[in-house]
Each structure stands twice: as structure tokens, then as C-alpha cells.
Structure 1
């Protein structure tokens, strides 16, 4: 198996496992703050143990280099998790993951505003179609209760994309340390904001599964897989989550997205696929 094929396989498996997270959130009936406290604790434990066992020397490096940007990215990604979970608890999983799929749009905007990076023509065209798709998803939710879920999803993708732009400029930041810091931030913030952290054993089991296995395992696979494939290939594979997350929830909880989500989501997904394929083709031509 070639390195590229290995990268595609490993990353695809990581994204497929990550798509289960939305279902696990839906399986709990606790509030977002309590959920994030336990999830943050379990993510921190799993990542801190991994860091100590495998990359002990990195701990010294982290405290000397790029510490401020690591903290900033951890706050942004932790906040993204808060908003993402809040979104899932307030609207359909399909709405949230499709809105989150527009991260390329937000990343291009932030990269232009912060680093003055030129926005390519294909991103401008793709953004137009994605905005149109978002409008279709939103138009029947205006004034309704689940519009708040859509707003949470927009805040989630906005925070995540900003963190991604910073990380693209600071590639030496240790991703395991970053994930551990994200978990610690979530746990501390939730502890401060929460009135009660009491949960039942069933919910604790779901959170253990998500925090100790699904979340870290998916991200380790994705982190290793993306060493062998291009960014555009990785972006294309992320569409697996956009498609599979609503399918898992439909299979186990019978949550069916409305027609506008199907129409708007199809426009966004097809746009993402077309843009990723175009980028792949363009990069191959350049390398010849």
C-alpha cells in the first residue's frame, strides 16, 4: 500500500469514527455545561497520559515556545466544542454538521482579514454556493426555537476556523498537547459556570466512551493520516462526517432532517466535493 493510500484509509477511518460524536451527544439528556465538563475531563486525561508516555520532552518545549498561541487556539477550539454541542442539543444533527462543513469559507475569510492571504477564485465561487445553501437551511427557522441551534453551529464553525488559520501558521504546535489543553479549558470553564455536575451512570458511560475512546482515537487517526495526504484531500474526506453523522442519528434515534436541510445541505456538500476535486486537480497540474 502506498503512503497516499494509507493516508486516505487512516484519515477516512478517523473521520468515520468522529461522525459518531453527534449521535453520542444526542443520546444524553444533560445540559451543555455539564456535558462539556465531563467530556473535557476525559479528553484531558487521555491526551495528558499520551503526552507523558510518548512525548515527555515536548512538555518542556511547549512551556518555552508558542505557549500563547497554544492557549489561544485551545480557547477557540474549546469554545467551538461548547457551541457545537449546544447546536446539536437545539436543532437537528444534519443542520449542525452541514453548517460546520462550511469551515473553508470562514477559514478563507479569516486568513484574508488577519494575514492578507489572497482568496482564490474557486473559494469565492464555492462560498457563493455555500451561502445560498445556508440561506435555504435557515429560511424556515427564522423566529423558531431551533434557529438558536443554527446560530450555535455558526459560532462553532467560526471559532474552529479561526483556530485552524492560526494553527496553519504555527505548524510546530504539538497537537496532542493542544487537545489536552482544550479538554482542560472545557473542564475548568464548565466547572465555573455549572450549578450542578451530577449525572446518571448511563450518561457517564456515554461520556466515557466519547471522551476516552471516540474523540481521542478519531483525532489520532486523522492526525496520523493527514501526514500522507494533501490538505485538499483531507478536506474532501471530512465530508464523510457531514454525510454520516445525520445517518447515524436517523438509524438509532429516527431524527429526520426537513426538506430544506436536504436541499441546502446537498448544495453545500456538492460544492465542497467540487471545490476539493478542483483543488486536487490544480495541485497535480502544478506538480507536473
Structure 2
């Protein structure tokens, strides 16, 4: 039986909250409440942003190809660059602006396979996820001194609460329950914790390069498991976006290392 996306959000959000709460409790023990309280206003904003990005992500993969979702999501660092310019007053280099325009051309090409079909809604939802993830990276960068993993737990229960009134809760097979449990209780909490910690210790170009692994391997795994094949324009548009992000990240990483070398004398 096909499980509606609202039910998936409830399961994923609830288990994400429980998984991260367990992890935080094991690490901080008596200080758990204090760690949650320390996230402050920025933490609540981060939780809200990630709450709606989670909902849009589930909607996206429900209505379009997983490959389309992941390729569009890969443009999140470009949104982060724009938000950093607006809110953190960080300059955006010419090479980043060029990469942004080329990447959006690739996304426009990718959506040609979705034009006139319900999957266009999925592509637009993915673009919303990329925008929100850009905001997410910007908030993490602005609050790098604060442990924001508790905010990810809060975002899980927020997403579940938003989706609950719309969830149908159909009967689920044992396989679906195991898959949902593994995704919500293990995979999602660990991946969100790591993606929150990573930008605090790695330069942005390296984070972008590592995130490309998901963009490349995700569609391959989906093709191997459920034989979901992207269309011609999805392949071409995806190649444009991934190549652009790869070249941009490599160039940015080289500039970062050169600046560090000069600073160290």
C-alpha cells in the first residue's frame, strides 16, 4: 500500500525527535534540558526552517524523481551564499554568481521533463527545500558557537505536529514499518547531526563537495532498488548542476587553501 507523504512526515519527524533526544541524553545526561534551552531564538528559527524543509522534501520525492530532488537540492550552497550576503554581509565572489546562474539554467533544463505533469510540483518543492537549506546553512554559520543539534530534534516534533492533522495513517506492511523506523530513528538523526556539526569545522567549499556524494549516489541507489530512471532533460540538467557545483567548490577550495598558506606565511 502506498503511504501518503503526510504520514511519512509524522513518522519521520517523531522518530527523528526521539532518536536525537536519546543521543543528546546519552551525551549530556543531566545537562540535556540546559543544552536544549541554550539554542535560543536562532535555534528555534533553525528548527522552523528545517521543519518546513523536511515537509517539502517528502512532498518533492512523492511527486518527482529522486534524482530531480537531489540535483535541485544540491543548489542549496548557492542560496546560502545569497543569504550570507544579505544577512551576514559576506561578499559573494564573481565565480559564485556565475555558478548560480549556470546552475539555475541546469535546473530549468531539468524541469522540462516535468513540464505539464504533477512532477513539476515535486521539482518546485525541491527548489523550496534548497532555499530553506540555504537559510539553514546561514543560520548554522551565524551561530557556530552554539550546539544546534537540539534544534534538529525540535524540528522533528514540529514537522510531525504540522503533518499530523493531514496524515491518513494507512495500514503499513512490516517492511514499510522497518524502513520508516530505520530512516526516522537512525539515518535521519545521525545524518542531520553530522550535517549540523560539519560546517562548524570544515570550510564551506569542502562541505559542498562532500554533499555532492548524496547527489551522485542517491539516484544510483534508487535506480538499483526501484528502477527509477531519470529522463533525458533530467540527466542533462543534472549534469550541468553537479558539474557546476563541483567546479565551483574546487575553485573555492583552492582559493581557501591559498589564503591560508599566505596567512601562515
| Number of the residue aligned with 2:210 | 237
RMSD: 2.0
TM-score by length of 1: 0.84
Pairing 1:269-288 to 2, within 5 Å after superposition? 269-288=242-261
| Correspondence 1:60 to 2:34 | yes
Which residue number in structure 2 is paired with residue 124 of structure 1? Answer: 97
Counterpart of 2:79 in structure 1 is 106
Q: Deviations over 1:139-196 (max 9, x none)?
A: 3422222111101101111112112211210113323212211111122222233354
Q: Is the 8 A contact 2:140 2:199 kept in 1?
A: no
Offset, 1:227: 6.1
Select the residue among 60, 65, 73 that pairs with 1:92. 65
Q: For the structure 1 residues 225 and 170, does the alpha-carbon distance in structure 2 shift closer, same or farther, using more than 3 Å as the test?
A: closer
- The match for 1:218 is 191
Give, in whole Å, the separation in 2 of the partners of 1:198 and 1:185.
24
2:23 is the alignment partner of 1:50: yes
Secondary structure at the residue paired with 2:154? Answer: helix
Q: 1:225 to 1:128 in 2, by over 3 A?
A: closer
CA distance in 1, matches of 2:199, 2:77: 17
Q: Structure 2: how far apart are the matches of 1:160 and 1:139?
A: 24
User: How is 1:159-178 mapped onto 2 (pairs within 5 angstroms)?
Assistant: 159-178=132-151
Show the counterpart of 2:43.
Answer: 70
Distance 2:233 2:147 in 1: 40
Does structure 1 residue 207 correspond to structure 2 residue 180? yes
The answer to whether 1:247 aligns with 2:220 is yes
- Equivalenced residues, count: 260
In structure 1, the gaps of 5 or more residues are 1-27
Matches of 1:160 and 1:129, distance apart in 2 = 19
Q: Which gives a bigger RCO, structure 1 or 2 (Cα 8 Å, sep 6+)?
A: 1
Using the TM superposition, give the Cα deviation of residue 124 of structure 1 relative to its aligned residue in structure 2, in angstroms: 0.5
Return the offset for 1:29. 2.4
